[in-house]
């Protein structure tokens, strides 16, 4: 099904039959993607005396508890409350769910012992476009990202200048296929988070960062219609399901 959608004063034809899910599923196994030194998620039946919440164990329904960390266990969307003393929750911050997004691919540059994404790389990739959302795919890009364990691995990250550039051009929603926009071990500096959310000025309460996405190589760089879905968690971050759709302006 194709739908005609008006967004920011422009009409687009969006192909709703071809969703591109760029989230990573959460599983209760050691193969689940992992970061920040937490054990893998657990999905286990409720037990209460002789009762076990599993049809295979004789119950009428499957009735599982799920133990996970949104930041460490997969695709999640976070708000400025991730780094502030005051409480802000992503369920209130994200009140719209459709955006024009630009998918760009970059190969992080070597800076000493680190691999980083620079302002110059993002400027070149965006080519003067100013989207509401940016989806950053990093190379190399293999399906290993679906199961990688990132703790103590010093993954690539955004330089402060790159995050500041995105804020300056008005990007509200930043999506990336890394466990964080910041360096794994930075003594709490969080330079990219703080630059993007304008931590030392007027906080960007309506801006979000989504980490741990995965965009297959079969998906071409370019403009997409983004549906950014979250679970209704009253927390600084929620598991999320960003979905891209191809579109054509009318």
- Of the pLDDT bands very low, low, confident and very high (cuts 50, 70, 90), residue 70 is very high
Arithmetic mean of pLDDT over the chain: 96
Provide the percentage of residues in the chain whose pLDDT is more than 90: 93
Mean pLDDT of 190-196: 98
pLDDT at residue number 12: 84
- Of the pLDDT bands very low, low, confident and very high (cuts 50, 70, 90), residue 100 is very high
pLDDT over threshold 80, residue 179: yes
pLDDT over threshold 80, residue 1: no
Mean pLDDT of 138-159: 98
- Of the pLDDT bands very low, low, confident and very high (cuts 50, 70, 90), residue 167 is very high
- What is the spatial distance between Cα 192 and Cα 184, in angstroms, rounded to a whole number? 12
- Of the pLDDT bands very low, low, confident and very high (cuts 50, 70, 90), residue 5 is confident
pLDDT at residue number 182: 98
pLDDT at residue number 50: 95
Q: 147-152: which pairs have CB atoms within 8 A and are 24 or more residues apart?
A: 147/31, 147/32, 147/33, 148/33, 148/34, 149/33, 149/34, 149/35, 150/33, 150/34, 150/35, 150/36, 150/179, 150/184, 151/34, 151/35, 151/36, 151/37, 152/37, 152/184
Mean pLDDT of 78-106: 97
pLDDT at residue number 140: 97
Structure tokens that stand for 72 in this block:
């460490």
- Domains in the chain (CATH in brackets) are 2-26+70-249 (3.50.30.50)
Write the Ramachandran bin of 204: left for phi over 0, alpha for psi from -120 to 50, otherwise beta.
beta
């Amino acid at each position: 099904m194709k739908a005609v959608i008006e967004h920011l004063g422009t009409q687009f034809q969006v192909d709703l039959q071809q969703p591109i899910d760029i989230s990573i599923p959460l599983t209760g196994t050691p193969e689940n993607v992992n970061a920040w030194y937490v054990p893998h998620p657990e999905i286990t039946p409720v037990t209460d005396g002789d009762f076990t919440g599993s049809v295979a164990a004789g119950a009428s329904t499957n009735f599982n508890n799920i133990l996970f960390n949104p930041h460490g266990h997969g695709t999640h969307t976070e708000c400025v409350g991730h780094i502030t003393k005051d409480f802000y929750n992503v369920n209130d911050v994200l009140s719209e769910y459709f955006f024009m997004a630009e998918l760009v691919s970059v190969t992080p540059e070597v800076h000493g012992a680190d691999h980083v994404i620079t302002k110059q790389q993002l400027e070149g990739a965006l080519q003067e476009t100013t989207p509401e959302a940016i989806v950053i795919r990093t190379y190399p890009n293999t399906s290993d990202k679906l199961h990688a364990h990132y703790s103590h691995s010093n993954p690539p990250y955004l330089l402060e200048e790159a995050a500041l550039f995105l804020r300056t051009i008005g990007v509200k929603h930043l999506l990336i296929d890394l466990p964080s926009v910041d360096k794994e071990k930075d003594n709490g500096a969080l330079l990219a988070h703080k630059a993007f959310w304008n931590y030392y000025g007027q906080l960007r309460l309506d801006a979000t960062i989504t980490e741990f996405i995965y965009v297959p190589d079969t998906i071409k760089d370019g403009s997409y219609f983004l549906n950014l879905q979250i679970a209704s968690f009253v927390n600084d971050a929620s598991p999320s399901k960003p979905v891209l759709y191809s579109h054509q302006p009318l």
